[in-house]
Structure 1
Amino acid sequence: MDTHRTRAAHDIGAANQNALRRTLRAEYDFIVCGAGSSGSVVAARLAEQPEVSVLLLEAGGDDRAETVDIPAMWPLNLGSARDWGFSGQPSPALGGRRLPLSMGKGLGGGSSINVMVWARGHREDWDHFASESGDLAWGYQSVLGYYRRIEDWQGAPDGRRRGTGGPVHVEQPAAPQPAARAMVEAAGHMGIPVFDSPNGRMMEGPGGAAIAELRIREGRRQSVFHSYVHPLLHRPNLTVLTGALVTRVVMEGASAVGVEVLLDGTLREVRARCETILSLGAVQTPKVLMQSGIGPEDELGRHGIRTIQALAGVGRNHQDHLAFGCTWAYRKAEEVGGGGCEATLYWQSDSRLRKPDILQCQLEFPVPAPVEAGIETPEHGWTMFAGLAQPKSRGRLRLSGPNAGDPILIEPNSLSEPEDVATAFAAVEMCREIGNHQAFAPLVRQEVAPGSRDRREMADFLRNSAVTYWHQSCTAKMGRDEMSVVDHELRVYGIERLRIADASIMPRITVGNTMAPCVVIGERAADMIGRRHGLAQAGTGADAVS
């Protein structure tokens, strides 16, 4: 589509949405709360059926900004109005530090402010989902079918694992920067397998190194909202409201009948004839559940909230990818390609593992360390984020009050498990070995962080430099035990007509960035909702469960 036609389509969609906002109805067939990487998919797939009315609610603003559009500008979104700007409670294992926990706020959610890395998760992740839920449709073979539906993959054909013609454009950088090529070369010299793609065979074994796959098309970032919802904004059956903060689920007995939403400074109630879907993310989803009377009885009772459904797991099992910035100074200034992340690596700290437990995302610019680390950032350089792909530490969320304006208290509990500390040591040492390899000699002047340290000093570095990938998840997990919040069809236990579709339903965080798995969660949710209500299935139908 050329520029003029694209602009015309955008103008038509915007005019339609303005009209729909002015004539907001009291009831819709489906209400989807949150326009992030899962909610955008659910709303779009349901709205593909012209007879179905869909309301998509987003607390943040629109996605019309250079910082959303231009790959190199994504860091400017952090700390802005497009970021919820959460902060963890002081963490004892991090010397009392509070971790910044950014999360996307606005159309596209995290996919509008992230690095745009497309990482589909490991085979073992999805088979674990299937085991925990008791549903093989969550397993790897089924999920491959979903990815074939989802993707418009621009690389080498792989009919079993990759899709073409789907809504999600995925490509590798055509000319990766020297630092990205050097990282892959150095990993290969160390005996780590090198692959053409990080999302094919590489995610079926111990891991490897590869040039990253990105959601960038013709130099522009592609959010999930842009790919799924934007083409449907002209439709009369899809209403998208920004600046709409969902405050609670409206209940009648044990049935969800809609939501209360703060819109233009006024609390309004909107009803859902069929279902309400929470896709608010792993912080806001459990907050809204608890403030609606769904959650741990003791937590609700502390704030005078009447328990409608006691679910001990709401807000528990919090997980995130923790990272430690290893930084090198360049000999001279180098260009930054794409969003700055053009190479990635997954590997094992122990060969007996069945999947990678180390995640490394390379950034082609020097990332400032937390002030507690006492490390000066070089003017020109690059940072390798040595990360925990499968952390064992578990955190939780608590309420500070019963109202929407009361902040949520996030206790990440990072590095509280000794196994995570041991893996962090291994991850940092692996990254140091890669970054100091001869392959980087033409580029790098010196290692800045962490440098050579004894074990005690390295432990200080880990504690003081730890940050997160902002992949918060697992706080309303899918499963069959007493801590599970949703069943295999993402229905909230004990509540009718209420589902959750976002990263909070993960039983365990996936290996790698979480955007792509969230798209799968959205597709799965839309399929299950469609079957429940007799709607035509999206995409390739049977192929998704082959």
Structure 2
Amino acid sequence: MDQNTHDLNRHENPAPTRHEVSDDFDFIVCGAGSSGSVIAARLAECGDARVLLLEAGGDDVAESVRDPAQWPLNLGTSRDWGFVGEPAPELCGRRLPLSMGKGLGGGSSINVMVWARGHKEDWNHFAAEADDEAWGYESVLGYYRRIEDWRGPPDAVRRGAGGPVYVAQPRSPQPIAEALLNAASAIGIPVFDTPNGELMESAGGASIAELRIRDGRRESVFGSYVRPLMSRPNLTVLTDALVTSIIFDGKRATGVEVLVNGQRRAFTARCETVLSLGAINTPKVLMQSGIGPKDELKAHGIPVVQHLPGVGRNHQDHLAFGCTWAYRKPEGVGGGGCEAKLFWKSDSRLSQPDILQCQLEFAVPSPAETGLETPAHGWTMFSGLAQPKSRGRLRLSGPNTNDPILIEPNSLSEPEDMAAALAAVELCRELGNSDAFTPLVTSEAAPGTRDRAGMIDFIRKSAVTYWHQSCTAKMGRDSMSVVNNELKVYGIESLRIADASIMPRITTGNTMAPCVVIGERAGDLIRKTHGLAVLSGVAPFA
């Protein structure tokens, strides 16, 4: 392992240089984010299985990572891939910034740390698409019981204790968070003790958020899963290691080519290679390696290894519209700034909530196109689409590593999304202008009173995303599916995908927690395939 990686654990022995890292491993996991970190740890627990975890970014020791309140400072830096969407016609031609974590921990090292487990109907949809009840809600509850170290009221059915993932609600939420719950209750929206219990089996409700913050410090997924195992000789973690392509022997993946500090290296995986590069880079690497829509690959001179037309299609994200109010006086900000959540339906006939509202305890500037001024002190409700119907796609701009991926979010292209957006913003305004907030705010700064045409204009010009890109290499059984129920890439041996790209549709709420489940599920599948057992004398996370 390299010195930078080993410095993350002060109890390490002196580390070998990068030149001493072997070229051969049993398993290669590409990407140290919220799924890849889990997989690498679960495999490294097992006997002598030699595991290589590759991360294109750097370490996670900066104060801007460790201090939850500083997460916005990472946006646009080397810790952010900094993707930008293509001009979106339904957003007045705007290009959406699409941030994504780059570095150990991935998004879990730069996000707002909200732990949102997904609705019951999300997971049952996964199971139906995969024809596998192991992806269903009852099974996933078992995974969450294994994963969590929940520091709230015990719930033997829905919550776990003693797992690797510390989850807690803020001890003393800011008054603005309590005001949201009071406002919701006043208009008949149920208030729950937690957003991840009964609420995610119901029509919706409001709750104080659950966060990955311990003693005022961020808890990344890498920190929870991989760091405790860094001294194990069978685990190698390389940072500044950009995966450029998959190596094949016929239709079998045998490893990957990687730029390590700019130097090209090839690593071999004796058993399996796993892509956990996220919903943008996973399809890019697949396509540039010859897996994807054959017409697009041929147009860029890429030899076709496996025609899979669904690679890069089905792109989904949570779109949001910032509704802002001015404070009477400056108010405090708790944790990462998000301490309250609300989920609701735009139409009572729906099977699950399609409105997602995250309250930020500071005023977020609206895009310049809105022409709206941001108060010096205030709060913003990101009123968003939990179940968007619009689907985007990714396209290659060229065959080379440095050729950028073209992201077409296609936001608000389906009329159902505009209808849901209008309902979401109106609900947000009803809440924010209610008596519950009167002691704290003076006026509504955005969007303000508008007719329908004016509100549609605001929605098109103010739309941003939650940076929950997903679904671009989906799990399923139809012709557009990329992986099967065991996350194996169709038509290719020894290659799996495990990250947000495999979601058939986006989950309700922030995507970090579902990505941990995907990592756990992948770990179980791989261990079963290769008959791996946890090394005697080493306590498993479960």
Coarse TM-score class (shorter-chain normalised): over 0.9
Question: Once the two structures are aligned, what percentage of the paired residues are identical?
Answer: 72
Structure 2 counterpart of 1:33: 30
* Other structure's SS at 2:387 match: coil
Aligned runs of 1:66-85 on 2, under 5 Å? 66-85=63-82
CA contact 1:71–1:220 (8 Å) conserved in 2: yes
- The change in CA–CA distance for 1:536 and 1:283 in structure 2 (over 3 A counts) is same
Structure 1 counterpart of 2:192: 195
- Of 198, 207, 210, 1:210 maps to 207
C-alpha distance in 1 between matches for 2:482 and 2:105: 25
C-alpha distance in 2 between matches for 1:8 and 1:280: 24
TM-score (norm 2): 0.97
Structure 2 counterpart of 1:431: 428
- List per-residue Cα deviations over 1:352-402 (Å, max 9, x = no partner): 111000000000000111111111111000000000000000000000000
Structure 2 counterpart of 1:139: 136
1:280 and 2:277 matched: yes
C-alpha distance in 2 between matches for 1:29 and 1:20: 21
C-alpha distance in 1 between matches for 2:459 and 2:73: 26
* Other structure's SS at 1:191 match: coil
CA contact 2:273–2:494 (8 Å) conserved in 1: yes
- Of 396, 412, 416, 2:393 maps to 396
* Other structure's SS at 1:63 match: coil
- List per-residue Cα deviations over 1:331-352 (Å, max 9, x = no partner): 0100100100000000001111
- Of 460, 479, 482, 2:476 maps to 479
Unaligned ranges ≥5, structure 1: 1-6
1:270 and 2:263 matched: no
* Other structure's SS at 1:247 match: strand
- Of 504, 509, 518, 1:507 maps to 504
Structure 2 counterpart of 1:156: 153
C-alpha distance in 2 between matches for 1:516 and 1:299: 33
- The change in CA–CA distance for 1:150 and 1:259 in structure 2 (over 3 A counts) is same
Structure 1 counterpart of 2:117: 120
C-alpha distance in 2 between matches for 1:375 and 1:277: 45
- Of 348, 353, 366, 1:351 maps to 348
CA contact 1:205–1:354 (8 Å) conserved in 2: no
CA contact 2:127–2:134 (8 Å) conserved in 1: yes
Aligned residue identity for 2:320: A
Structure 1 counterpart of 2:374: 377
1:10 and 2:9 matched: yes
Deviation at 1:50, TM superposition (A): 3.3
- List per-residue Cα deviations over 1:216-273 (Å, max 9, x = no partner): 0011010000000011111111100000000000011000000000012211111000
Aligned residue identity for 2:114: V
Deviation at 1:537, TM superposition (A): 6.1
C-alpha distance in 1 between matches for 2:323 and 2:8: 45
- List per-residue Cα deviations over 1:425-476 (Å, max 9, x = no partner): 0000000000011011110010000000001111110000000000000000
CA contact 1:209–1:343 (8 Å) conserved in 2: yes
C-alpha distance in 2 between matches for 1:350 and 1:129: 23
Structure 2 counterpart of 1:3: none
- The change in CA–CA distance for 1:192 and 1:9 in structure 2 (over 3 A counts) is same
* Other structure's SS at 1:431 match: helix
* Other structure's SS at 1:12 match: coil
1:406 and 2:403 matched: yes
- The change in CA–CA distance for 1:171 and 1:418 in structure 2 (over 3 A counts) is same
1:90 and 2:101 matched: no
C-alpha distance in 2 between matches for 1:11 and 1:334: 38
1:451 and 2:480 matched: no
Q: Which stretches of structure 1, 4 residues or longer, exceed 2 Å deviation after superposition?
A: 537-541
- List per-residue Cα deviations over 1:31-80 (Å, max 9, x = no partner): 00000000000000000113110000000000011111111100101111
Deviation at 1:23, TM superposition (A): 1.2
Deviation at 1:9, TM superposition (A): 8.4
C-alpha distance in 1 between matches for 2:204 and 2:424: 14
Aligned residue identity for 2:299: R
- List per-residue Cα deviations over 1:121-178 (Å, max 9, x = no partner): 0000000000000000000000000000000000000000000000000000000000
CA contact 1:491–1:500 (8 Å) conserved in 2: yes
CA contact 1:531–1:537 (8 Å) conserved in 2: no
* Other structure's SS at 1:525 match: helix
CA contact 1:152–1:164 (8 Å) conserved in 2: yes
Deviation at 1:540, TM superposition (A): 11
Unaligned ranges ≥5, structure 2: 1-5
- The change in CA–CA distance for 1:460 and 1:182 in structure 2 (over 3 A counts) is same
Aligned runs of 1:277-316 on 2, under 5 Å? 277-316=274-313
- Of 13, 21, 40, 2:18 maps to 21
- The change in CA–CA distance for 1:150 and 1:210 in structure 2 (over 3 A counts) is same
CA contact 2:8–2:61 (8 Å) conserved in 1: no
Deviation at 1:21, TM superposition (A): 3.1
CA contact 2:46–2:534 (8 Å) conserved in 1: no
Structure 1 counterpart of 2:99: 102
- The change in CA–CA distance for 1:8 and 1:521 in structure 2 (over 3 A counts) is closer
Structure 1 counterpart of 2:60: 63
TM-score (norm 1): 0.96
Query: How many residues are treated as equivalent by the alignment?
Result: 535
- Of 323, 326, 329, 2:326 maps to 329
Deviation at 1:304, TM superposition (A): 0.4
- The change in CA–CA distance for 1:280 and 1:537 in structure 2 (over 3 A counts) is same
